[in-house]
Structure 1
């Protein structure tokens, strides 16, 4: 079995604007994002760390590194998934996020799972 078959994680993410916590007049735009991490490989894997790249509408980039997600470092058996919700704040009504998770296979093999880019946008901010 090839390494790419054994270690395969699919990540999907969507975002929503949180109007109740945002203050557009103060350039404070709050977004919730929902992530699903699915192990589509042949071996178990644990999520160790995250690296997010967040870009606002002015091109300002924030990088976020940390252990696990929402205080957890889940282990996913083949076919299992883990879902969580978190949030971020931008100074603009539009932005993007992408990144990667550092994963650890049950045989101590370390690999990365890419988080594809997704949009953060206040309703009616994009025409």
Structure 2
């Protein structure tokens, strides 16, 4: 499990290898990750967009940006959380993801929240720092 807190917004990530959707002989490795976003602060916030930096085991990096997450722009009152699951395919058996969410307060102020870097490694593989 990976966790970070930025401006009273806690982001927890739990990645897992999806063996049934992967085909290593074809260079296809798939991970799912579940993210919980918890508002530890005192103000209402809405998740507006995301930006991911995905690096595979060969050091190739892809940046992915988009509105909301899984088709939603959740609002979080103090103490509320939002959880979702998404996925990431790679052509290598390891990689790393890191990113940010753009959040907005009820007053219209935009701010970034860190998504902690997390490792994507097939089970029982040697761990490699990228």
Q: Structure 1 length normalisation: TM-score?
A: 0.92
C-alpha deviation, 1:14, in angstroms? 1.4
Q: What secondary structure is seen at the aligned counterpart in 1 of 2:16?
A: strand
Write the distance in 1 (CA, Å) between the matches of 2:83 and 2:37: 6
What number of residue pairs does the alignment pair up? Answer: 121
Matched-pair contact (CA < 8 Å) for 1:8–1:41:
yes
1:84 alignment counterpart? 84
RMSD, aligned α-carbons: 0.9
Q: Secondary structure at the match of 1:73?
A: coil
State the match for 1:26 in structure 2. Answer: 26
Quote how far apart the aligned CAs of 1:51 are. Answer: 0.2
**Secondary structure, counterpart of 1:25 in structure 2:** helix
Please give the secondary structure, in 2, of the residue aligned with 1:64: strand
TM-superposed deviation, 1:125: 1.6
Describe the superposition over 1:73-121 as per-residue Cα deviations: whole angstroms up to 9, x where unpaired.
0000011100000001001111111100000001111101100101111
Counterpart CA distance in 2 for 1:122 and 1:19 is 9
1:1-127 paired onto structure 2 within 5 Å: 7-126=7-126
**Segments ≥4 residues shifted beyond 6 Å:** none
5+ long unaligned stretches in structure 2 = 1-6
TM-score w.r.t. length of structure 2: 0.90
Stretches of structure 1 that go unaligned for 5 or more consecutive residues are 1-6
